A and B are shown apart, each in its own frame.
Chain A
Amino acid sequence: MVSTGARQGAGAPRAVEPARTAIHGGPTGGSARESVTGGIVAISGAAAAVDLTVDLAPTRGGLVLANPILVASGTFGYGIEYGDVVEVGRLGAICCKGTTLRPRIGNPTPRVSETPGGMLNSIGLQNPGVDAVVERYAPLWATWRTPVIVNIAAESVADYAEIARRLDGVPGVAGIELNISCPNVGRGGLQFAIDESAAGAVTAAVRRATDLPLLVKLSPNVADVRPIARAIAAAGADALTAINTLSGIAVSADRRRPLLGNVFGGLSGPAVKPVALRVVYEVRQVVDIPIVAIGGVTELADVLDFLAVGAVAVQVGTAIFADPALPVRLVGQLAEAAARAGHASYRPFIGTALPAKPGVPSAKGVEYRP
């Protein structure tokens, strides 16, 4: 079993000079002025003093991130693909591509398609399997300051538990994000996310298999996400992430067939943000564990919106494709926003748009289901 606390002392990723990562620890004095690849982060003295740290597993071993800006699974590979274009040492955490027990070749192409304000993807969980991930990438991650959370997917409870077991104690693996909601795999995939007892059962099984911090990723493709969130929290998840993609299709230009090789794809990008906001808003009121929001973050205002409805951190996904420097830029912008508001931490932004009494559904809005 790995002590997650030990990660905090780890060195910086090789690509990043130590001086640049100094911002991580919060107040740092000297290195207040920063400049970022393709970005415009000039962190003022006051902003550099803002506490951006967040603990995603506060009730267990702890998973303390230097800041609440993460990159979403499937959009940032294994943390190395963007090379020097992104300073990974400045990210709060990286969620790697969905990992399965055995290698998967994924779905036929086309696998991605642009949509108004978003995109559809049907990658189908192409990945080299958990053993290859442990062998090829974890040793590198172990040298990074930025924690890497391994996103895992399976078709059976036994497989989920087995993947978790193989990641347990591996240096470089800071946590697990259960993808119980991938819409792009034929069998099973989504089933765990749409049924509260299945979601609880798979969470509990993984909980038994590992002491690693455990995040469970919710699907928006359900009638009511709240009972599912409750079951997952009760089964021992440390945090929830919300949301995965919405199921959709696109039609080919000649209108003779569906465009994607797999017919169905997952919708992401700015277009899904209102759905993600709604899910976070609802879930925040029925669970106490931290919520990491994902869905359509493209600018600081989106981060602030998600914090307002109760998220403690956000993941940036699709927007990275157009603007690889965005996640790192958001770190600086969030600190500046807090400093401007006169806060010593970004935490006062959290939950400001929630109903007055969390836990008691208000008569207005909360129960509205179109």
Chain B
Amino acid sequence: MSMRLVAAELVESREILPGQWLQSYHAPTMAAGARAGQFVHVRTGDWSGLVLRRPFSFNTVDAATGTMTIHFRTIGRGTEWFTRLRPGDSIDMLGPLGRPFEVDPRSRHLLLVAGGLGMAGVRMLADEAIRDGRQVVVLFGASGVREVYPSSLLPDEVEYVVATDDGSLGHHGFVTELVADYEAWADQAFACGPAPMLRALAGLAVGRRARLGVAKLGRKRGGGRPLAIGSPQARRKAFLQVSMEQNMGCAVGACLGCVVMGVGGTPQRVCREGPVFASDEIAWEAGW
């Protein structure tokens, strides 16, 4: 579905963790067209203050009720503005935007890796995968127990494994340290979170073939001609897909504000070629 401008009505707003909010909006056309990994660009405030929209991932969508949720942390004036909205208030959303996660039809086992707010980016993929009969493990990392995403908000079918930096819950250490236990099991992995986490995962993905001795999927695919950066095929055949963030102006590909450097030396627009990329499409060391 192509993007639209719609008025979305706030149905419910609640603080699920300190400073982290889950809001549900009634926006039937948006909910009908959205896929996991895509995002909306939401208008805030007025011209005197907040001049740019704010991007948020689709956290969950329910096409039956025509609702969608966003999950965000209040970090600045824009996100605070959202917390002051009341049920019945209507806000202006542009979406669905960007390219979604692409699951290979043959993948049975999906590994989802989320760092903090990165849960908002991969959460919907868990729903899609379970609906399609796949098995899902979610690895989640946070600084401490107070930041851990409630398991009650995840589908029951998901295996949920937590790591905390301070050891207050689950594995004591980084979420990336949990990956080794699942890398042979997983057919594909999907990640969203802070840039250092994504960079570390991309490094692990590169070494995976060597460690496992085989590349489980993709043996016969993509051989020869490299697939175009940003193409669904390139993502579908990748072991690891990452959802990237950049400050955005337009969110439709017009302003070139949101780029990350691609391996070919051409900047890629997070809003258009992304936000989901195959991890080997990104030039991680370029520092962009």
Contact = CB atoms under 8 A, between A and B. Distances in A.
Contacts of A288: none
Given A106-B259, A323-B43, A77 B253 contact: yes
A115 B247 CA distance: 13
A269 interface: yes
A193 B78 CA distance: 36
Given A322-B53, A323-B43, A270 B253 contact: no
Size band of the interface chain B makes with A:
35 or more
B190 to A, nearest CB: 23
Most chain B beta carbons < 10 A, residue from A75, A321, A323: A321
A215 B229 CA distance: 36
Contacts of B256: 74, 97, 106, 111, 123, 126
Contacts of B53: 321-322
Interface stretch (A48-56, A78-86, A356-364): A78-86
A370 interface: no
B231 interface: no
Interface string A91-128: 00000010000000110111111111111010100100
B80 to A, nearest CB: 14
Given A109-B260, A116-B49, A119-B249, 19 more contacts: A37-B5, A77-B254, A84-B3, A85-B5, A97-B256, A106-B259, A108-B288, A110-B247, A111-B258, A112-B255, A113-B247, A114-B51, A114-B52, A121-B249, A126-B267, A269-B51, A321-B250, A322-B51, A325-B5
Contact of A324 (B48, B94, B246, B287): B94
A219 interface: no
A79 to B, nearest CB: 9
Interface in B229-264: 246-260
A119 B265 contact: no
Nearest to A79: B254
A190 interface: no
A74 B246 contact: no
Interface string B7-51: 000000000000000000000000000000000000100011111
A259 to B, nearest CB: 9
A112 B248 contact: yes
Interface of B: 2-5, 43, 47-53, 78, 92, 94, 246-260, 265-267, 272, 287-288
Contacts of B49: 116-117
A82 B94 CA distance: 10
13 contacts: A37-B4, A74-B256, A77-B252, A109-B258, A109-B259, A112-B248, A119-B52, A121-B255, A269-B51, A318-B249, A320-B250, A321-B52, A321-B53
A77 B255 contact: yes
Given A83-B2, A111-B256, A118 B51 contact: yes
Main SS class of interface, A: loop
A76 interface: yes
Contacts of B272: 81
A269 B4 CA distance: 24
Nearest to A118: B51
A333 interface: no
A244 interface: no
A298 interface: yes
Contacts of B259: 106, 109, 111, 126
B265 A105 contact: yes
Nearest to A325: B5
